[in-house]
Structures are given as structure tokens and as C-alpha cells.
Structure 1
């Protein structure tokens, strides 16, 4: 049987690659990583054949090809329902899906204002007003989840799809020294100390070549 393969781009810049990789690791699915340099025209053409949406990550597993990050989450949840990707309780599970979907489709201003770069840490960084509204909404989501489910993760004692979706957000806030409430700052640090997050960051720091991130989603 062929091994599962996860197509990703730069570990330094690609927020969606990080999310897909976290989901696979959380589910316990062993994958072979295939890195696509998106600034290479030949690799771009190859990715066009692999994924109609020209986005990473893309999971290939037992004949299935799954490229949208939330689709990967749902696919893995079907395969590994006991991995805890979503909360067990119905209402909490619906809440988790809702906030994960919100980060998947929204926060356009924050995407452009604070691009992901795991190799930088700013002591100060100007954040324009449009992005500030996005930050306030993210803090509202985090505060609500941490209060409702008791932390330290957004939905309780174990990381879920929501934590994978918000992991790059936490890294952006840390990279650009975004001023946050105490609970939000604590969650950012908790996410940053996640063993899977540390593994990804260490690999990002070993990347020699900067790869242009193709996707424009947050």
C-alpha cells in the first residue's frame, strides 16, 4: 500500500501547509512530505495537475486526493473518529466547526497586514485599523472558547481542529508583537510551546531557500 503523502510549500511562510501538517499529526496519520517550491514554474505546473485549486496542503491517501484544509480535517475525522480532532459533545463540536470555518474564510485585512514568517520577531510593528478589527474578533473567539471549555486549548484539555487552524494566527501575533489581553497572550504562548509547533518551527528555521507563498488565504 502506498504511503500517505502531504504536499506542502514553505514551512517558514505557508500557514495552510502548517495547518494541514498539524491535522495529520494530530490524527496519527504518518505522511511523507512533498515540498513544492511555488516560485518554480515547473513545480507550479505540477501542482496545477495535482490540485485544481492550486493550493497547498494536499493529502493523498489510499486513492483519495484532498486539498482544502477543512476538507482534510473532515477526511481525517472520518478515518480516525477517536483521535479527538473535534470535541465529543455535539454543541461543542458545532462550535469548533464554526470558529474553524470563520478563520478559514475570513480576516482578510489581517492576512495582508501580518504575513506569516516564522523567522522573524519584531519588538514593535504598526497594525492598521482594519487589521485591528480582525484581531479583536479573534480575541473574542479565543476568550469565549477558553471561558466556555476551561482551556488550556480552545476546546478543553486537548488540541482540536480549531487549535490547528489558529496556530498560524498565534505565530503571527508573536512575530509582530501584537498587543493582546492576558488570556490571549497566554494562549499564544501555549500554542507556541506545543511540541508539534516546536517541531515545525525548528524545521522552518533550517530551510535554506525562501519560497514564495502562493496561497493568499489566511
Structure 2
């Protein structure tokens, strides 16, 4: 199955494009990427040539255009049911979808005060009012890692869609020098940063 074109922001800036790209890699889809530099003055016009939402990412598959990283993940799960984008059981998939949606809709303070920039190296400002969101992220990571530590290094054992959703947060933490309190959360960050797909995007 091919004819996939992922419309992506540039690697340095687009955390949502990274999420969709990771999902494509997990699905082992044969795809091409059209990168659009979000730092240019006409980036919006460029995106609108491919994506009616005017945002990235968007996935073009034959005559279909799917906008938004989470929608792309759901579409890939339909096309590649054996790719393990989601965990195995109904209960696990429900939890994974709930966490993916929480990441998709939430953590706005972290995203706004710790912008995604691969070329940034700085220091986390602990005076920022982020503690509630940071605590919630650590709670998710620690709980899932404690439940699945014997099945692999990621939130449901194997690297899957939910890890793709949280990977940009891990990268933000690394770039801003934020170190989670719990050992399991720190180990999870290490596993994400060492995953071959994440390293491929960063490099």
C-alpha cells in the first residue's frame, strides 16, 4: 500500500508533524514527505495548496486528504490493523485513546511556554506556572511504565501511537533541561530519545 504523501512542517519546529511522521513509521507505510518551512512568510499559502485546514500535518492518500495528527493515526490504524499502532485489548485501546486525546487537547501551558525547537538549548524556568501539567504528565508516564515495565520500554510496552503523541514533550523536556522527578518517567524519556525513529527525525 503506497501513494502516501505526508505534508509536514519543517523538522525543527513542527511537533504535530513529528507525531504523524512517527505514526507513519510505526505503520511501516511507504510514504513521501513534503516539508514546508514554517519560518517563511508564505508558509500558510504553501500549506493551503495541500491541506484545506491550513495546518500541518496532513496526509494525502490517493484522492483523500486527512488533516490532524490524531486523525491520521486513526486512519493508519484502519489501514494497517496489524501494525500495533494501538495496544491489544479493548480496555488498553480505550485507555490509549483517552491519553492520546488528553495530549492532543491539553498541556497548553507547556506547549506555549516551552516551544518546540530542535535547535534550542536552554534552561527550564521553574517560576513558570506549569507544575500542574508537569505533574499530570509524570503521573501518566509513571503509571503506564509501572504497569508495562515487563513488556517493553514504552507506555504500553511496545512503541506505539501514544508514544508518538508524547515524544515531542520528551524532546521539549530535553531541550529545556527539565528532568522529571520519578525514575520511571526519566527512564521513559531516555527510551523515547534513544528510539531509532525519534533519532532519525532529530538528526
Relative to the length of structure 2, the TM-score reads: 0.92
CA distance in structure 2 between the partners assigned to 1:187 and 1:164 by the alignment: 13
2:118–2:202: 8 Å Cα contact kept in structure 1?
Answer: yes
What residue number does 1:145 align with?
144
Q: 1:83 deviation in Å?
A: 0.1
Give the distance between the partners of 1:37 and 1:92, measured in 2 at CA: 37
CA distance in 2, matches of 1:22, 1:2: 17
- Conserved in 2, the CA contact under 8 Å of 1:113 and 1:128? no
* Distance in 2 of aligned mates of 1:42 and 1:114: 24
**Shift in Å, 1:9:** 1.0
Q: State the Cα distance separating 1:50 from its structure 2 match.
A: 2.4
Contact 2:5 2:33 (C-alpha < 8 Å) held by counterparts? yes
Gaps of 5+ in 2: none
Query: Which residue pairs with 1:190 in the alignment?
Result: 191
Residue 130 of structure 1 aligns to a residue in which SS?
coil
User: For 1:95-139, what per-residue CA distance to the aligned partner results, in whole angstroms no more than 9, with x for missing partners?
Assistant: 0000000000011110111111122333x3213442121111000
**Counterpart in the other structure of 1:111:** 111
Please tell me whether the aligned partners of residues 23 and 161 of structure 1 are also in contact (alpha carbons under 8 angstroms). yes
60-69 or 164-173: bigger deviation: 60-69
User: Contact (CA 8 Å) 1:58, 1:66: kept in 2 or not?
Assistant: yes
The separation in 2 between residues aligned to 1:70 and 1:2, in whole angstroms, is 20
Please report the RMSD computed on the Cα atoms of aligned residues, expressed in angstroms: 1.7
Q: Which structure exhibits the higher relative contact order, with contacts defined as CA atoms closer than 8 Å and separated by 6 or more residues?
A: 1
Q: Which residue of 2 aligns with 1:209?
A: none
Distance 1:38 1:176 in 2: 21
Summarize the alignment of residues 16-35 of structure 1 with structure 2, pairs less than 5 Å apart: 16-35=16-35
Asked whether the equivalents of residues 113 and 127 of structure 1 are also in contact (C-alpha less than 8 Å), the reply is no
CA contact (8 A) 2:13 2:38 kept: no
Looking at structure 2, the residues matched to 135 and 186 of structure 1 have their Cα atoms a distance apart, in angstroms, of 16
Q: Taking structure 1 as reference, are residues 131 and 90 closer, same or farther at Cα in structure 2, changes over 3 Å only?
A: same
How many pairs align? Answer: 200
Determine the structure 1 residue equivalent to 2:201: 200
Deviates more, 1:83-92 or 1:179-188: 179-188
Report SS of the residue matched to 1:38: coil
- Stretches of structure 1 that go unaligned for 5 or more consecutive residues are 203-218
Normalising by structure 1, report the TM-score. Answer: 0.86
